[in-house]
Homo-oligomer: A and B are copies of this chain.
Amino acid sequence: MSETVKYLLPEERLPRAWYNLVADLPAPPPPSLHPATGACLTADDLAPLFPASLIEQDASTERDIEIPEPVRDIYRLWRPSPLYRARRLERALDTPARIYYKYEGVSPSGSHKPNTAVPQAFFNQQEGTKRMTTETGAGQWGSSLAFAANLFGLEVDVYMVKVSYQQKPYRRAAMEAYGARCIASPSNLTESGRKILAEHPDSTGSLGIAISEAVEMAAQRGDTKYGLGSVLNHVMLHQTVIGIEAMEQMEMAGDEPDILIGCSGGGSNFAGCAFPYIGRKLRDGNDIRIIATEPAACPTLSRGVYAYDFGDTAHLTPLLKMRTLGSTFMPPGFHAGGLRYHGMSPLVSHAMDLGLIEAQSFQQTECFAAGVEFARAEGIIPAPETNHAIRAVINEAIACREEGTQRTILFVLSGHGHFDMQAYTDYFAGKLTDLPHDEAALARSTDALPEIQGVKPLISA
């Protein structure tokens, strides 16, 4: 019994550089394209939305990108995050597998999101930004950016999908505690918001509308920029502190993962842990299996097509080459709000295309069952998103037991569920139903992809 559970690194071992997967890939990722002209996206195209240093990171081919000291100093508030050996879960499953998890719920906002919120706020402040805008659905990203931007003296406007604004007052309160302004979207503050409200005064909003409002507000003011919590290369980059630390901690444990698992919505917590391991796999040729998990109701990697698509429903964003269900795909209202995105990080999609990772999708009730099993063994109540990773972990561990094979499994526990307990309440009340994706809707939304519409660049891409 009395064996180490937590592998802790001292602050001195905080990574000094983020890891850029692009440097090790056998083929560069396809470029992003301007939505109007179809030309390759330039730094100038993005300048109204992002500071130059982040745009540069998006395009960088350097392997190691230095983490500025002021960012490391804030990371110290919770990083290096602990790596746990799930000894109690192993015993509960009676498996020969060794299960480890990298726990990102120790951050102030309870998830991995501040890993990128902090550098985004830092680089914005360095380049003179006074205010940041962003959108948030469930509120995980909004509260993380609110936390980070406050530390650099930036104002933050968070456009929160109105139905979440009303139903999730806890997250809103967290944003306000950090000094951010939280605005129910659609709002009267923007053109896009006013247009929606004129047509649908009772609109409860959507992530697509909230993105439009946040982007519009950032684009029209010189001192205001936009922050995005997933999908883009620089976000994946910042999250690699997870995997870099995990590698060193696995070494402390004297072990090495055979399987790495993370849940994937826009891709950031998965990429954060996986990319350093993919890089090593590419350099060393080891045969680690890397699995991204997602909801059956929004199976972007498992069932999406690899094509150029818009990042938002309003078609304001650049065209990104990615696994997508089509920007008009509306996933049903399941409980893992962080996994309800029609697209996927272009870099994660590219890694999938190169055969470096695999994907698995799960129904929500089997995911909550896994989360409850985990909580009863290990104590931590995981976020609904994370339960998708845990489902896969438990399945693999059971397979080890049945085959009598020892394997080492590492997964990212992206956040705790303390803000998401309504989902557990609904689960225990039997109110959750399994929601497979709608085949007909998927056919319609992928049919409506821009390449079908003959957008010029897509032909040449």
Report A's interface with B, CB cutoff 8 A: 1-2, 4-6, 8, 10-11, 69-70, 72-73, 76-78, 84, 88, 106-110, 147, 150-151, 169-174, 176-179, 371-372, 375-376, 378-381, 416, 418-419, 421-422, 424-425, 428
Query: What's the least CB distance linking A172 to chain B, in Å?
Result: 7
Given contacts A170-B170, A178-B375, 6 further A-B contacts (CB under 8 A): A107-B379, A147-B379, A151-B379, A173-B425, A176-B424, A177-B371
Question: Which of B88, B107, B173 contacts A421 (CB under 8 A)?
Answer: B173
Q: How far is the CA of A11 from the CA of B379 in the complex (A)?
A: 17
Q: How far is the CA of A109 from the CA of B416 in the complex (A)?
A: 10
Set of chain B residues within 8 Å of A381, measured between Cβ atoms: 108, 174, 177
Query: What's the least CB distance linking A365 to chain B, in Å?
Result: 15
Are A179 and B378 touching (Cβ within 8 A)? no
Set of chain B residues within 8 Å of A173, measured between Cβ atoms: 421-422, 424-425, 428
Are A106 and B106 touching (Cβ within 8 A)? yes
Q: How far is the CA of A88 from the CA of B380 in the complex (A)?
A: 28
Q: How far is the CA of A171 from the CA of B150 in the complex (A)?
A: 29
Query: What's the least CB distance linking A125 to chain B, in Å?
Result: 14
Q: Which 6 A-B pairs have the closest CB atoms?
A: A108-B379, A170-B421, A173-B421, A418-B418, A5-B76, A173-B424
Are B421 and A174 touching (Cβ within 8 A)? yes
Q: How far is the CA of A424 from the CA of B146 in the complex (A)?
A: 15
Query: What's the least CB distance linking A415 to chain B, in Å?
Result: 11
Q: Which residue of B lies closest to A375 (CB)?
A: B177
Set of chain B residues within 8 Å of A170, measured between Cβ atoms: 170, 418, 421-422, 425
Q: Which residue of B lies closest to A105 (CB)?
A: B106
Set of chain B residues within 8 Å of A4, measured between Cβ atoms: 11, 76
Q: How far is the CA of A158 from the CA of B10 in the complex (A)?
A: 39
Set of chain B residues within 8 Å of A69, measured between Cβ atoms: 1-2
Q: How far is the CA of A4 from the CA of B174 in the complex (A)?
A: 26
Question: Which of B150, B171, B379, B428 contacts A376 (CB under 8 A)?
Answer: B150
Contacts A11-B4, A76-B5, A106-B106 hold; do A178 and B419 have CB atoms under 8 A apart?
no
Query: What's the least CB distance linking A331 to chain B, in Å?
Result: 24
Q: How far is the CA of A69 from the CA of B416 in the complex (A)?
A: 27
Q: How far is the CA of A2 from the CA of B75 in the complex (A)?
A: 11
Query: What's the least CB distance linking A339 to chain B, in Å?
Result: 20
Q: How far is the CA of A72 from the CA of B4 in the complex (A)?
A: 11
Are B77 and A379 touching (Cβ within 8 A)? yes
Are B147 and A179 touching (Cβ within 8 A)? no
Of A110, A172, A371, A424, most buried by chain B (CB within 10 Å of CB) is A424
Of A76, A371, A428, most buried by chain B (CB within 10 Å of CB) is A76
Are B172 and A380 touching (Cβ within 8 A)? no
Query: What's the least CB distance linking A355 to chain B, in Å?
Result: 38
Q: How far is the CA of A163 from the CA of B397 in the complex (A)?
A: 42
Question: Which of B2, B11, B172, B416 contacts A425 (CB under 8 A)?
Answer: B172
Are B5 and A11 touching (Cβ within 8 A)? yes
Of A177, A371, A421, A428, most buried by chain B (CB within 10 Å of CB) is A177
Are A5 and B424 touching (Cβ within 8 A)? no
Are A151 and B1 touching (Cβ within 8 A)? no
Set of chain B residues within 8 Å of A421, measured between Cβ atoms: 169-171, 173-174, 177, 419
Contacts A1-B69, A88-B151 hold; do A76 and B108 have CB atoms under 8 A apart?
no
Set of chain B residues within 8 Å of A428, measured between Cβ atoms: 173, 176-177
Question: Which of B77, B380, B419 contacts A108 (CB under 8 A)?
Answer: B380
Question: Which of B1, B169, B379 contacts A422 (CB under 8 A)?
Answer: B169
Query: What's the least CB distance linking A130 to chain B, in Å?
Result: 17
Q: Which residue of B lies closest to A75 (CB)?
A: B5
Q: How far is the CA of A120 from the CA of B295 in the complex (A)?
A: 39
Q: How far is the CA of A171 from the CA of B421 in the complex (A)?
A: 8
Q: How far is the CA of A169 from the CA of B78 in the complex (A)?
A: 28
Q: How far is the CA of A418 from the CA of B375 in the complex (A)?
A: 17
Q: How far is the CA of A10 from the CA of B82 in the complex (A)?
A: 11
Contacts A77-B378, A376-B179 hold; do A418 and B5 have CB atoms under 8 A apart?
no
